[in-house]
Amino acid sequence: MAVTTRQIGPCFAAEVEGVDLSRPLAADEVKAIHAGMDRYAVLVFHDQRIDDGQQLAFTQGLGDIEHAIGTSLRAPEEYRLPTTFADVSNLDQHNRVFQRDDRRRLFGLGNRLWHSDSSFKATPAKYSLLRAVSVPSRGGNTEFAYMPAAWDTLDAETKAECEPLICEHSQIFSRQQLGFTDFTDEERARFAPVRQRLVRTHPGTGRKSLYLSSHAGSIVGWPVPEARFFLRDLVEHATQREFVYAHRWKIGDLVMWDNRQTMHRARPFPAHEPRDMRRTTLMGDGPTVAQVA
Ligand SMILES: [Fe+2]
């Protein structure tokens, strides 16, 4: 059966049919998936009864993966999944739901702010692939915003202002917005800011987009409050409902998105219920801008 895509909701999201992720993909299937990602920015695969090994194999068939090492508040002995996965669950290493005030959970709540995965890394993520292993009884949707549309609909003056700007991204900035500032010196050093261009051009489509993320906390050369306000205004513009697709998860869904042209956020759900989501991530081609020593 041929791999086909069918648009769902806004122009940038599609469902994929005719592909079984439990077995190795043929070269033409991989090609069709990459083409689908260039045409859309979010692809949804339903009813994929796959395990971690199969998700990893599928991801590695698409490119080089990013490892999740030192990007959360879990100590190395508290990892529930191997570092080939980003653990986006609310579960500890024994598969128990975190207590409401557990700082690992509170840090994880940062995923509910609009962001682009790994924008806090010098080489940020290309694609993220998220698989629903267990879902809460209500809530917990993931929403996606399409950043080329956000760019296209800015006025010329704002575009010109954005074009040369370099932002600094850190998980400390995103957590600050939630009032979470309780970091150790080791964590502050580990989460040191990196630079990213505010405007980037997609290598597949040639389209420009705003590279926004809640991790962006300053603009090089700007006073911080002015930068925060400017970025907040852009996020508000970029996340208007007509640019947003909301994914309502079912077990067996795998959603793949392009972090170079979307932002996303998780929505709330009951704190005592497990939400087991496992993410594999493709590494980007390189930094968006040179770093400073
Ligand atoms: Fe994310």
**Distance of CA 154 from the midpoint of ligand 1 (Å):** 25
Q: How many CA atoms lie within 13 A of 146 on its CB side?
A: 24
**Distance of CA 241 from the midpoint of ligand 1 (Å):** 19
The C-alpha R_g of the chain, in whole angstroms, comes to 18
Strands 42-45 and 13-17: parallel
**Distance of CA 49 from the midpoint of ligand 1 (Å):** 22
**Distance of CA 236 from the midpoint of ligand 1 (Å):** 18
Please name every residue paired with 245 in a beta bridge, in sequence order, or none if there are none.
144
**Distance of CA 23 from the midpoint of ligand 1 (Å):** 26
Greatest distance between any 2 Cα atoms in the chain: 56
How many C-beta atoms lie closer than 10 Å to residue 157's C-beta? 8
Residue 134, pLDDT above cutoff 80 = yes
pLDDT at 9: 82
Nearest Cα residue to 158 out of 263, 233, 216, 225: 233
| 245 band by pLDDT with thresholds 50, 70 and 90 | very high
**Distance of CA 157 from the midpoint of ligand 1 (Å):** 31
Q: 200-242: per-residue pLDDT in tens?
A: 999 999 999 999 999 999 999 999 999 999 999 999 999 999 9
| 104 band by pLDDT with thresholds 50, 70 and 90 | very high
Please name every residue paired with 244 in a beta bridge, in sequence order, or none if there are none.
145
Residue 1, pLDDT above cutoff 70 = no
**Distance of CA 113 from the midpoint of ligand 1 (Å):** 9
| 293 band by pLDDT with thresholds 50, 70 and 90 | confident
| 2 band by pLDDT with thresholds 50, 70 and 90 | confident
Q: 262-288: per-residue pLDDT in tens?
A: 999 999 999 999 999 999 999 999 999
pLDDT at 292: 85
SS3 71: coil
Q: How many CA atoms lie within 13 A of 238 on its CB side?
A: 30
pLDDT at 80: 96
Q: 57-72: per-residue pLDDT in tens?
A: 999 999 999 999 999 9
**Distance of CA 117 from the midpoint of ligand 1 (Å):** 5
Nearest Cα residue to 204 out of 139, 127, 117, 273: 127
**Distance of CA 110 from the midpoint of ligand 1 (Å):** 9
Average pLDDT over all residues of the chain: 96
Residue % of the chain over a pLDDT of 70: 100
107: left (phi over 0), alpha (psi -120 to 50) or beta: alpha
pLDDT at 3: 86
Q: Give the C-alpha separation, 52 to 21, whole Å.
A: 11
